[in-house]
Amino acid sequence: MSLFSFMGTLEIGFIFGLVAIGVYLTFRVLDFPDLTVDGSFTLGAAIAAALIISGVNPYLATLCAVFGGAAAGLVTAWLNLRFNILHLLASILTMTALYTINLRVMGKPNLALITEPTVLSPFESLGIPNMYLKVIFVGLVVLAVGLLIAWFLNTQYGMAMRATGANPRMAQANGIVVNQKIYAGLALSNALVAMAGALFAQTNGFADSTMGIGTIVVGLAAVIVGESLLNSRSMLIIVLGCIIGSLLYRLAIALALNADFIGFTTSDLNLITAVLVGLALILPQLRREWKARKAAKGDAA
Amino acid sequence: MIRCEQIKVTFNPGMATEKRALRGVDLTIPQGEFVTVIGSNGAGKSTLLNTIAGDIRCSSGKLSFDDRDVTGLSAAARTADVARVFQDPLAGTCGQMTIEENMALAYGRGKRGGLKLALNERLRKLFREQLARLNLGLEDRLDAQMGLLSGGQRQSVSLLMSALQPSKILLLDEHTAALDPKTAALVMEITDQIVAEKQLTVLMVTHSMRQALDHGTRTIMMHEGQVAFDLAGEERSNYGVKDLLNLFAQIRPDGEELDDDKLLLGA
């Protein structure tokens, strides 16, 4: 793998670290499987790209993308909490609606940002080569967000959110308004994912209406890789695990695609991802079954 | 003080599965009274507790704490006054979180959760002191995952958690029913300690007649969604399990057999 593609891999790995943290918040903290992210990733990219092209400051554009993502999360939460639509289905509805909304936001299926200013523009005068600058910038932003989220999950509010997902009845008996925590959690999660989309559009120079497909699986893969490597109860380690998981996942994919003797091409990416995530989910289960069988044998002997 | 006035609760009104769970309950419990609640399955004991806690809304009637009308308040809003311990040891605590995190959650009961760190050294010290009362060695395992504790340990911690914040009312829904007799006795001992210490108004649902008479200061029996009888003071102290069973037979004039073994045999 060339240095250039290695740096590109790190950069995307960091950006999807944000997605992984968002997915961790919904799937693990709130126990709310949320597929909205496939739409909100693109939404973030679309809002940022459209605003930047129309002359808005890139930082302001990114902020708007973050709020757009939060709004998408709120819609999913509303469909689920107000109308009792199954969480999975509610998120699929929002995701489907977002596909059209994203096209409307962009005005066409694809927007190029190559010549536009981005969040990186203020730092270009520092003289750091662009390929390093991108990784350093994205890495620092994602680490800062990660630290912030880890801190948040240890606050009274964040702990109440964790209790909401782990045991809603107990949470309620302790005065926690569970619905409010679910709204907040989905908004936060999708805001992070939209931020990832906005950063992705700016570092890669485009926004595309189909760029969000499979975001959820990639995010989940990163969460699972992180969890299986760092088994901890500490919020800081878990959140950092999401970022590390995302980086490792990207590196594994890049290596698989680069290994000529296997013969994979970029179009095989989704199958590789699905197989990797599938394995990560299947192996712990098989290990449990294997252990149980061993224990049963031990008892019989 | 808890005052129930003509509280009615109907599940699935107007449907074939309509169930009138509470049919006009009138009950006044003065501050500091410990009431035990007995009754057969489906009598409305748990519904009464859940209605006071706010999990179930009354179809009609009025509920007040200390002459404040709380009928319209949500369960979460009532937690400033009400603490609860559930029957299922798994229900009252978060298995995925640590002991100290669970206690921090209970410590925040009735307050607005803000963006301050939920745990600090001062709280850890308080939690350690409280856990030491249980004599279970849990004070040295603050960061152990709750899910690793036994049912009895979890129920004991639940009790401590219910007393971390000053509250006026404690609702116990068969909180020893899922425990072995020895652990149940320990949990009841801690219950009596906490109630005496904090001067709480308590409603305890129990399946055991013995427990209903041995603990608390007043016993009520629920039957078909109403308070069938109400025992207190000297009359109650002269009652034995046999007398309770006789009373039970009287309110079932159709000669219906008492089919609930737990009610009869409960230790």
A173 contacts B86? CB cut-off 8 A: yes
Structure tokens at A222: 């990163």
- pLDDT tens string, chain A, 301 residues long: the values are 788 889 999 999 999 999 999 999 999 999 999 999 999 999 999 999 999 999 999 999 999 999 999 999 999 999 999 999 999 999 999 999 999 999 999 999 999 998 999 999 999 888 888 889 999 999 999 999 999 999 999 999 999 999 999 999 899 889 899 999 999 999 999 999 999 999 999 999 999 999 999 899 899 989 988 988 888 889 999 999 999 999 999 998 888 888 777 778 878 887 888 887 788 778 878 888 998 888 888 766 5
Contact A120, A137 (CB under 8 A): yes
Torsion of CA B132, B136, B137, B139, to 10 degrees: -40
Tell me which residue of A120, A72, A74 sits closest to A95, measured CA to CA: A72
Structure tokens at B206: 């129990």
Q: How far is A246 from chain B (nearest CA, A)?
A: 24
* Alpha-carbon span A185 to A87, nearest angstrom: 13
A173 contacts B115? CB cut-off 8 A: no
B108 contacts A174? CB cut-off 8 A: yes
* Alpha-carbon span A50 to A46, nearest angstrom: 6
Contacts of A156 in chain B (CB under 8 A): 104, 108, 111, 113-118
SS (H, E, C) A86-101: CHHHHHHHHHHHHHHH
Tokens 């003071």, residue located = B233
Which residue of B88, B96, B111 to mutate against A (max A Cβ within 10 Å)?
B96
Cα dist from A2 to A9, A12, A136, A200, B143, whole Å: 11, 15, 18, 21, 45
- Where residue B126 sits, what CATH number does that domain have? 3.40.50.300
B74 contacts A173? CB cut-off 8 A: no
Nearest CA in chain B to A149: B115
pLDDT tens digits, B172-222: 999 998 888 888 888 899 899 888 888 889 999 998 888 888 898 999 999
Q: Which domains does chain A have, with CATH numbers?
A: 3-300 (1.10.3470)
Tell me which amino acid residue B213 is.
Answer: L
Tell me which amino acid residue B146 is.
Answer: M
Contacts of A163 in chain B (CB under 8 A): 94, 97, 105
Cα dist from B48 to A172, B9, B26, B80, B232, whole Å: 18, 9, 11, 19, 19
Contacts of A159 in chain B (CB under 8 A): 97, 101, 104-105, 108, 113, 118
* Alpha-carbon span B92 to B89, nearest angstrom: 6
Structural domain including B36 reads 2-265
pLDDT tens digits, A101-157: 999 999 999 999 989 999 999 998 888 888 899 999 999 999 999 999 999 999 999
Q: How far is B49 from chain A (nearest CA, A)?
A: 12
At A185, is the secondary structure helix, strand, or coil? helix
Compare CB distances from A156 to B74, B75, B114 and report the shortest one's residue: B114
What is the ipTM for the molecules in this complex?
0.85
| DSSP letter assigned to residue A29 | I
pLDDT tens digits, B97-152: 999 999 999 998 877 778 889 899 999 999 999 999 888 889 999 999 999 998 88
Contacts of A158 in chain B (CB under 8 A): 118
At B63, is the secondary structure helix, strand, or coil? strand
Domain count, chain B: 1
Which residue of B50, B99, B105 to mutate against A (max A Cβ within 10 Å)?
B105
- The residues facing B63 across adjacent strands are B4
B76 contacts A157? CB cut-off 8 A: no
